[in-house]
Structure 1
Amino acid sequence: MLKRIKLLLICTIAAVLVTGYFLMKPSPNTERVTVQWEKPTLFYQGEKWEDAIQGSAASLSISMAWLREHVDSYLHYEKESGTVVITTTGKVLNLQTEQWSARMNDQPIELAFPVQVKEDRVYIPVAPITELYQIKVEETESGAVHLYKQGDVHNWGQSAAEESDGTVPVRTEAGIQYPILYDLKPNEEVRLWNEKPEDGWYRVQTPNGLMGYMAEDDLRWTREEIVQATNGQADSSSDPPVVKKPLAEKVNLTWEHVYRTNPDTTQITPMPGVNVISPTWFSIGDYEGNLSNKADTAYVNWAHEQDYQVWALFSNDFTDPDKTSTVLAQHETRMKMIRQLVAFAELYKLDGINLDFENVYLKDRDLLTQFVRELTPMLHEQGLVVSMDVTVRSNSEMWSKFYDRRALSETLDYMIVMTYDEHWASSPKAGSVASIPWVERGIAGILTFDQVPPSKLILGIPLYTRVWTEEEVDGKVEVSSKAVGMETVLNTIREKELTPVYLDDVGQHYVEYEEDGSRKRIWMEDHRSIVNRIEMVKKYDLAGVATWRRGFETADIWPLIEEHLN
């Protein structure tokens, strides 16, 4: 009897619980709502971005801050002049706020709508953005604007119900208690914005562009789409720029140091294996962006007759960081320098430009990168090779840290690492100009930390060394040095009957001797050190070598480099 009572009690409790569950379970909401955004609202990857867009149709514009975060971090704005600069690998677009015209690669173009500034937000018209980047923009009647980027992967789904079952609801939120936003018909597709359902619900985008939610059981996956941005023209620079290439497999460049006048080319001995020569011709001349020019047409003609390409060097003159800072600060002065370089390249029939900026304030780091991004497409348009000289990584702000090597390498054809001055002219301690371990650490650092591709990296090789003098003055050792070429060192060794000693830890030969009560010390550049450096090019599969400078070498060095490099 007791067992029957217990069983009856359990059944009664179960019945009460089941009845309570069904009484408490919410019924599906059948209310239908219409969503209309009060102002244009941007959606990307299924997420809503408020205040990121304004206008419609021809006046549709996107916030520059949003574009920087999601499309191109290099978008550049100069508030004082109201200048917006957009750079890609092949294009430079200069826009001015409230102006209906712009300049593309320094050529005038008309805009359908100008750049505007509202409440300190800069808005860029959509039209040039879709032309320069592979982007598709779709406006909906609800005021939602959807942006898709080339290569984005979208998943699509359809109603899981049979066609005879009619429509399935797309709701405003994840739950059957929320109103119906859209009735999905059989065979209609929705974009799926989460790969797996969250709490049994997919976040979807309806055929008319609205964002909503569908129950997992109401949906089945149909296909994957890779976005093709067909409504905008892909930037023509998406293909590799057509630039001139060196004549040999590896770059074998040497610099021509031009003081005041160009060398007598009849006195230049053959340089077998060299395929690029870089004369130091151009530099920043003044605070207005006018350039100094020492170029010589006869020198270019001679170089081309020898099958050398000419990558003329353009420097910031090194001596005045304030001048560099001033000319980099404004797009107008940057473009002034760029126009001169483009004109010089055409006038002198150059094959490339080699940039050499040194002694630059750390605060100008981004402006230097911006200048290179504005210059390179203009030179590429002329078929020119663009390279830049950088130092190895160090904590020195004005010698090393102002180079954004990773960003620069994205734009440049080549980056030449000036792997010398480990011990510089006024170093308080005597030592090698560029010991092999120090050079290797420098190259590895740029490859690893800056992620510069080895195919763009050229190893700088010193053809000079320093004769160090150590003498005791008032009980302290004072150090001074003098830069000399290879021949000078060999003459000293012969005259003084010295025997060089090879230092394994340095990778160079070394000699020292006494003279006038002081000690002279030399870490030599010779066959052994040059081969050690070229082996590094092979080890890391670098793009080639660049030697500083012609005139410091002995005649047998050129065949040596040619033999080991290729």
Structure 2
Amino acid sequence: MLKMILLLILIAAAIIGVFLWKRYSPSKETYDLQKYYGIENEGQMAITVDNQVVEPHGMIDNGKAYIEYNVVRDYINSRFYWDPNENILLYTLPKDTVSVEVGSKDYSVSREKKSEDYIILKTEGSTAYIALDFIQQYTNIEYEVFSEPDRVMIQTEWGETKVATVKKDTQVRYQGGVKSPILTELKKKEEVTIVEEEENWSKVRTKDGFIGYVKKSALKKVETKNLTREFEEPVYTNITKDYTINMAWHNVTNQDANNNVLQRIAQSKGLTTIAPTWFHIADTDGNMNSIASADYVNYAHQSNIEVWATIRDFDGGINSYDESYEVLSYTSKRENLINELISESLRVGVDGINVDFEKISDECGEHYIQFIRELSVRCRQNGLVLSVDNYVPKGYNMQYDRKEQGIVADYVVIMGYDEYFAGSPEAGPVSSYDFVKEGIEETLKEVPAEKVISGIPFFSRLWKETPKTEEELESQEGTDEAEYTMNVESEAMGMDSAKAQVEQAGAEITWDDAAGQNYAAWEVDGTTYKIWLEDENSLEPKLKLMKENKLAGTAAWALGQENADIWNLILKYVN
């Protein structure tokens, strides 16, 4: 009986031992590297950039590594630009543009021809592949190519990096834990880069481009190294004014309207810069309409005021997202537009160009910022100030790429108005305090303060609300408009006109704390009128924001809409 009990105990111990071994012993399974790198087709080259595995959109051809344009743009160097319409690769330098044609060993830097001993740009259909050697000429990267599978490890990040030495032979696993499959083996004394640390495991990058997990106990000599590489980054020089900019847009709609510039200047105080809306894109070929006047520029200069002529992609020959995309997505059309813009600017003697493009879709973003880069080259060559107008940053307008604007342009202007705009389904302020504050704070995350100009409105909107009929409410069920029960119309008006409307209605003005503005509402024959007033009380806190954040200055839309006294307030903050 005792023997039987001992036997049962031994059997039970063996079963428990086997169970524990299976549960806690290290797995010897190897991970499928094709799956790890995302390789699906023969000939694909896997790619790691710093500490991440990216899409395997690369290839080896004649011993050279090539990377698909989208990967280059998104992970390595966003200044490379591929135009599939005209089969040309561009790279914009501060005063030159590098251009490469498909299948060529030659390239040009502006008008100078240069050559390599390899084909720089290859295509498969509309997909472009760029030689890594060529990318490296213009990018601070190192790379190494490996086989089995074909892969390239690219390093773009430099500076302080944590590294460790392998204490003993061990494995890099796909995830933390001994049961996770093995990516690769590590030998004693090999060095790894530590990506992040967990309780018992470290995420590491190996010298040959595997990114996975190693037991902390297998590592020693954890230290910080300063990794550097000799590379001369291009310097995008900018024009910087040594005074606080006091700018205003002048909404000029025809040649005759240029004649009132002297009156507008006389009615202002301390104006440093005037931006007349002179230029419009005429058509989808990149031609331009102009109502620029050399006399206007001379009058402004006599008053010691600079002229930054505004070009717009709306209210002219084109006026849609599709049309702006059609112009900006072709290199020849951008070039045509820039040539006309620079030529006309030099003809009338303006001091700068102000870009106000408001029809840029997400799809158009990369073409738009390439236009800004290319225009910046020509402005730099001709001593013209380049300023670019932007919405208050939101998730849906990130395609404007304010960070890159802040590098290549001289000034980035925030249009701190149209919070509620013509066509809004509900009434609201044109420019609440928090809206302007958010615009400044979010822009400063990407653009240096000395390059930021805060735009403010000289206008208000009078809102008119009428209840929707039952038929209208039924027709909008299930749509985005379902929550709105009022038909809403609005009219933009200057400061004096807005105040007169309130006085005429006999309405009481109250302070709207949430908006930081004076507010009035009244009712006539079942219609409700609402207005948030732009006046000294609303503008002063916004000007304080400009001053407190040490911005480059302020800009106002638009001359002629202001109350005469508002200039005394502005002078307090620009002097």
- TM-score by shorter chain over 0.5: yes
Asked if residue 501 in structure 1 is aligned to residue 509 in structure 2, the reply is yes
How far does the alpha carbon of each residue in 1:115-138 deviate from its partner, in whole angstroms, 9 at most, with x for none? 122587633234542332223567
Contact map agreement 2:308 2:353 (CA 8 A) in 1: yes
For 1:416, give the aligned amino acid. V
Partner of 1:312: 309
Offset at 1:440? 1.3
Q: Which structure has the larger Rg over C-alpha atoms? A: 1
Work out the CA distance in 2 between the residues paired with 1:360 and 1:139: 39
Unaligned residue ranges in structure 1 (runs of 5+):
1-37, 161-168, 175-180, 210-215
Work out the CA distance in 2 between the residues paired with 1:449 and 1:244: 19
Work out the CA distance in 1 between the residues paired with 2:282 and 2:49: 47
- Evaluate the alpha carbon distance shift between residue 228 and residue 502 of structure 1 in structure 2; reply closer, same or farther with a 3 A threshold: same
- Evaluate the alpha carbon distance shift between residue 344 and residue 109 of structure 1 in structure 2; reply closer, same or farther with a 3 A threshold: farther
- Evaluate the alpha carbon distance shift between residue 69 and residue 367 of structure 1 in structure 2; reply closer, same or farther with a 3 A threshold: closer
Once the two structures are superposed, the pairs formed by residues 333-352 of structure 1 within 5 Å of their partners are: 333-352=333-352
Partner of 1:353: 353
Partner of 1:530, secondary structure, is: helix
- Evaluate the alpha carbon distance shift between residue 51 and residue 538 of structure 1 in structure 2; reply closer, same or farther with a 3 A threshold: closer
Contact map agreement 1:466 1:482 (CA 8 A) in 2: yes
Partner of 1:243, secondary structure, is: coil
Work out the CA distance in 2 between the residues paired with 1:307 and 1:155: 55
Offset at 1:283? 1.4
Partner of 2:368: 368
Asked if residue 535 in structure 1 is aligned to residue 544 in structure 2, the reply is yes
- Evaluate the alpha carbon distance shift between residue 125 and residue 383 of structure 1 in structure 2; reply closer, same or farther with a 3 A threshold: farther
Work out the CA distance in 2 between the residues paired with 1:453 and 1:334: 25
Out of 452, 455, 460, the residue aligned to residue 460 of structure 1 is 455
Aligned residues: 499
Contact map agreement 1:155 1:221 (CA 8 A) in 2: no
Work out the CA distance in 2 between the residues paired with 1:383 and 1:171: 61
Contact map agreement 2:428 2:532 (CA 8 A) in 1: yes
How far does the alpha carbon of each residue in 1:358-401 deviate from its partner, in whole angstroms, 9 at most, with x for none? 24445434433343344334434444433322333679x7xx67
- Evaluate the alpha carbon distance shift between residue 98 and residue 283 of structure 1 in structure 2; reply closer, same or farther with a 3 A threshold: same
Contact map agreement 1:94 1:102 (CA 8 A) in 2: yes
Partner of 2:562: 553
Q: For the aligned residues, what is the CA RMSD?
A: 5.4
Partner of 1:129: 135
Partner of 2:327: 327
Work out the CA distance in 2 between the residues paired with 1:225 and 1:478: 64
Contact map agreement 1:265 1:299 (CA 8 A) in 2: yes
How far does the alpha carbon of each residue in 1:24-56 deviate from its partner, in whole angstroms, 9 at most, with x for none? xxxxxxxxxxxxxx9999887699998846457
Work out the CA distance in 1 between the residues paired with 2:104 and 2:73: 21
Partner of 2:364, secondary structure, is: helix
Out of 111, 114, 127, the residue aligned to residue 115 of structure 2 is 111
Partner of 2:534: 525
Offset at 1:555? 2.6
- Evaluate the alpha carbon distance shift between residue 507 and residue 360 of structure 1 in structure 2; reply closer, same or farther with a 3 A threshold: same
Contact map agreement 1:150 1:228 (CA 8 A) in 2: no
How far does the alpha carbon of each residue in 1:391-423 deviate from its partner, in whole angstroms, 9 at most, with x for none? 33679x7xx676455665565443333233344
Offset at 1:311? 1.9
How far does the alpha carbon of each residue in 1:192-224 deviate from its partner, in whole angstroms, 9 at most, with x for none? 54589x999x98769xx9xxxxxx999996997
Partner of 1:391: 391
Contact map agreement 1:87 1:93 (CA 8 A) in 2: yes
Offset at 1:247? 4.3
Of stretches 501-510 and 117-126 in structure 1, the one that deviates more from structure 2 is 117-126
- Evaluate the alpha carbon distance shift between residue 493 and residue 127 of structure 1 in structure 2; reply closer, same or farther with a 3 A threshold: same
Once the two structures are superposed, the pairs formed by residues 118-517 of structure 1 within 5 Å of their partners are: 122-136=128-142, 148-149=155-156, 151=158, 192-193=192-193, 226-230=226-230, 234-237=232-235, 241-249=236-244, 251-261=245-255, 262-267=258-263, 268-269=265-266, 271-318=268-315, 320-321=319-320, 322-392=322-392, 403=400, 405=402, 411-427=408-424, 431=427, 433-435=429-431, 438-441=432-435, 443-444=437-438, 447-448=441-442, 451-453=445-447, 455=449, 456-468=451-463, 480-489=489-498, 496=504, 501-505=509-513, 506-510=515-519
Work out the CA distance in 2 between the residues paired with 1:190 and 1:149: 22
Contact map agreement 2:385 2:410 (CA 8 A) in 1: yes
Once the two structures are superposed, the pairs formed by residues 37-116 of structure 1 within 5 Å of their partners are: 52=58, 54=60, 61-73=66-78, 75-87=80-92, 92-104=97-109, 106-112=110-116, 113-116=119-122
Partner of 2:269, secondary structure, is: coil
Offset at 1:427? 4.9
Work out the CA distance in 2 between the residues paired with 1:128 and 1:348: 41
Work out the CA distance in 1 between the residues paired with 2:48 and 2:462: 66
Offset at 1:473? 11
Contact map agreement 2:163 2:224 (CA 8 A) in 1: yes
Offset at 1:279? 1.1
Contact map agreement 2:249 2:275 (CA 8 A) in 1: yes
Contact map agreement 1:390 1:415 (CA 8 A) in 2: yes
How far does the alpha carbon of each residue in 1:52-101 deviate from its partner, in whole angstroms, 9 at most, with x for none? 464579x6655545534541245433334322233466664332211344
- Evaluate the alpha carbon distance shift between residue 73 and residue 367 of structure 1 in structure 2; reply closer, same or farther with a 3 A threshold: same
- Evaluate the alpha carbon distance shift between residue 51 and residue 426 of structure 1 in structure 2; reply closer, same or farther with a 3 A threshold: closer
How high is the TM-score relative to the length of structure 1? 0.68
Work out the CA distance in 1 between the residues paired with 2:537 and 2:260: 31
Work out the CA distance in 1 between the residues paired with 2:285 and 2:568: 44
- Evaluate the alpha carbon distance shift between residue 243 and residue 173 of structure 1 in structure 2; reply closer, same or farther with a 3 A threshold: closer
- Evaluate the alpha carbon distance shift between residue 221 and residue 122 of structure 1 in structure 2; reply closer, same or farther with a 3 A threshold: farther
- Evaluate the alpha carbon distance shift between residue 145 and residue 153 of structure 1 in structure 2; reply closer, same or farther with a 3 A threshold: farther
- Evaluate the alpha carbon distance shift between residue 560 and residue 154 of structure 1 in structure 2; reply closer, same or farther with a 3 A threshold: closer
Work out the CA distance in 2 between the residues paired with 1:100 and 1:283: 39
Contact map agreement 1:311 1:354 (CA 8 A) in 2: yes
How high is the TM-score relative to the length of structure 2? 0.67
Work out the CA distance in 2 between the residues paired with 1:362 and 1:66: 18
Work out the CA distance in 1 between the residues paired with 2:544 and 2:229: 46
Contact map agreement 1:246 1:309 (CA 8 A) in 2: no
